[in-house]
Structure 1
Amino acid sequence: MILAAAIIGSSALSAQTSANNLLAAGVEDAERFMTDYLSPVSEASIYSISSGWFNSASAKPLGGFEISVIGNLTGFKNKEDKKSFILDTSEYENLQFQDGSTSKEVSTALGDIEGIGVFVEAEVAPGITAREDFELPTGLSSEGIDFIPSGYLQASVGLVKGTEIKARFLPKIQTDEVSIGLYGIGLQHEFTSHLPADKLLPIAISGLIGYTHLDGTYDFTNTSIIDGENQRIDAAINSWNFQAIVSTRLPVINFYGALGYLSGTSTTDVLGTYRVQSGPFQESYTDPFSIEKKASGVTANLGAKLKLGFFRLNADYSLGEFNNLSVGVNFGFR
């Protein structure tokens, strides 16, 4: 879980530095670039925190419970379309490439394209031109990271026949620069529990609805181009997960699968005071912009669960716009 905070914080650090420098091109150019730059990592994070809700289609009986430690790895190694985007300077007011190109493939927060130089230039007085040069940021792949992690504690309790309530929680983790926390609630209902002699059936079938919320804050110092106070990124992610689940009813090892749909929204606020100290557009901005990313898609899931008394271990892999590996260590009764 601390690893998750560190990796997401690393991405935010690169993004914050980029946002700072890009404000030298004006707030409109900075917002346009950051929207394209951050969208893939926001989408991958939505998929990551939406996973790990279940390890069986069988609902726990009244009073039955399970406490789990769940970790997710959402991969993007082969997602080349998520690692870069085409920056067309004709869509920007002031940003230009140093090599004279009008459009070029540049890195997203997931990518690994390095050394892309840009500049802004304008006449600040008759016969006097000011120019500022800087590099666009690269992404996580340039650091050898090809996944977005997430992790949390989860508890499940059986209620009335066939119904199980779930809650997940990540207590607030704070470092000098990063603060991150998560909570969520879910409800699973086993439809086969209403059938006669349901325990004699070889499989169980259930449906699940889960909601997850993540908050993250990243505080950073000034850059050489931008001065200011209280500069930070506040990120909030909300996701909904809907699943139809089927699993076997064996005493020790069981297999489960699911078909589902997830939908989520990520909101990233760039907050604080920013004063451009060099270049042709030396202005001051307060809470300059906010970026929103929506993501949704169908997922398919296959997994296995080992049960040894009160100890259970499960792992599953889900296919979707971003694929995810989920592993759970579980302790339960009934």
Structure 2
Amino acid sequence: MKTVVSLVLALFGFQVILSQSNINDLLAAGLEDAERYTNDYLAPVSEGAMHSISNGWYNSGESKPLGGFEISIIGNVSSFKNKDDKKAFTLDTADYENLQFVDGSTARPVSTALGDLDGVRVFVEAEIAPGITEREEFELPSGLASEDINVIPSAFLQASVGLFKGTEVKARFFPKINTDDIAAGLYGFGLQHEFTSHLPAERLFPLAISGVIGYTHLDATYDFSTTDIIAGQNQRIDVVMNTWVFQAIASTKLPVINFYGGIGYMTGKSSTDILGTYIVQSGPFQQTYTDPFSVEQDASGVRANIGTKLKLGFFRLNVDYTLAEFNNLAVGINFGFR
């Protein structure tokens, strides 16, 4: 169970992000600087998570007949190991009101929530009274790669049921996990329709061709402790993600081993709310913030995948690989009838 929880935490980047350097320290630089930095820092992990949870909607171009069903355990891993552009962004102090690099740089790469750049120290400084200047230094957070995590995982249960000729409905679910620090869950709904089921001689046609639409919703809350720089109460991050997938798919129609593939489009939106009370108690910009800001990220893009499915009675196993902004490997263990 501990491993499962760790994977869920890694999905949002929370476990590593907050353990290395609390992102709320940035509020010591002022609200606008903190919001700008947080948006750039979290954007890649939000995008990758949306790609990850959007996979696994199908393993065949054939829709199930009336009464046919399949229950699946699906695991996804979306890789960012070779995506250096997702692991860092250039922080230009000219775009910030107060944030400066301790080493005197004006612009340099810093880690995103997926990255591994550490040891980057920044400071804020201002005159708080005539002739009196106050300065506060802190370290920018690193990301998942610094802990040798180079994939964004997701997992869920999925059920598919045939309703009428050529049409099946799907539902996916990941039960809410609650620990001392995090609560996370996922659900979604999908629809598949097989166009080749309307052909006069469908049994003789060698391929099954379908269209799939899938919606996935994920929400999570992470409560984290205060730091020496920021005090407060009920400090937490709330994340909500919603994605849609539109896919055209085709598969062979053999009795035991089949091959399938598809091409389509994914679009999604995530919202990250920084909630609670934050009391900046050190540095030149001491102030209290309540629910200080929210950041939003969008993700979209064309995707294509290819896979294979083994069917042995009521047991089925499928594996597929998706080419997208974040490439994904999906494995499904399935139990079905018809």
Q: How much has 1:2 moved relative to structure 2?
A: 3.0
Q: Show the 5 A alignment for 1:231-270.
A: 231-270=235-274
Q: Normalising by the residue count of structure 2, what TM-score does the alignment of the two structures yield?
A: 0.97
- SS of 1:159's equivalent in the other structure is strand
Instruction: Supply the distance in 1 between the matched residues of 2:166 and 2:13 (Cα, whole angstroms).
Output: 43
Instruction: Supply the distance in 2 between the matched residues of 1:299 and 1:215 (Cα, whole angstroms).
Output: 24
- SS of 2:42's equivalent in the other structure is helix
1:196 equivalent to 2:200? Answer yes
- SS of 1:35's equivalent in the other structure is helix
1:7 is aligned to 10
Q: How much has 1:127 moved relative to structure 2?
A: 1.1
Instruction: Supply the distance in 2 between the matched residues of 1:35 and 1:330 (Cα, whole angstroms).
Output: 39
Instruction: Supply the distance in 1 between the matched residues of 2:278 and 2:6 (Cα, whole angstroms).
Output: 30
- SS of 1:238's equivalent in the other structure is strand
Q: Deviations over 1:72-104 (max 9, x none)?
A: 001000111000000000000000000110000
1:186 equivalent to 2:195? Answer no
Contact 1:11–1:140, Cα closer than 8 Å, also in 2: no
Q: How much has 1:14 moved relative to structure 2?
A: 1.8
Q: How much has 1:9 moved relative to structure 2?
A: 5.4
1:103 equivalent to 2:128? Answer no
Q: Deviations over 1:160-184 (max 9, x none)?
A: 1000000000110111111100000
Contiguous gaps of at least 5 residues in structure 1: none
- SS of 1:206's equivalent in the other structure is strand
**Over 4 Å off, 4+ runs:** none
- SS of 1:200's equivalent in the other structure is coil
Q: Show the 5 A alignment for 1:29-108.
A: 29-108=33-112
Alignment RMSD (CA, Å): 1.1
Quick one: which amino acid aligns to residue 100 of structure 1? G
Residue identity over aligned pairs, in percent, reads 67
Contact 2:259–2:308, Cα closer than 8 Å, also in 1: yes
Q: How much has 1:148 moved relative to structure 2?
A: 0.4
Q: Deviations over 1:272-327 (max 9, x none)?
A: 00000100000000000000001100001000000000000001000011100010
Quick one: which amino acid aligns to residue 44 of structure 2? P
1:205 is aligned, of 199, 205, 209, to: 209
Quick one: which amino acid aligns to residue 285 of structure 1? Y
> How many residues were matched structurally?
334
Contact 1:9–1:218, Cα closer than 8 Å, also in 2: no
2:300 is aligned, of 292, 296, 302, to: 296
1:152 equivalent to 2:156? Answer yes
Instruction: Supply the distance in 1 between the matched residues of 2:273 and 2:292 (Cα, whole angstroms).
Output: 8
Q: Which moved more, 1:306-315 or 1:4-13?
A: 4-13
Contiguous gaps of at least 5 residues in structure 2: none
Instruction: Supply the distance in 2 between the matched residues of 1:246 and 1:44 (Cα, whole angstroms).
Output: 26
Contact 2:91–2:108, Cα closer than 8 Å, also in 1: yes
Q: Normalising by the residue count of structure 1, what TM-score does the alignment of the two structures yield?
A: 0.98
Quick one: which amino acid aligns to residue 236 of structure 1? V
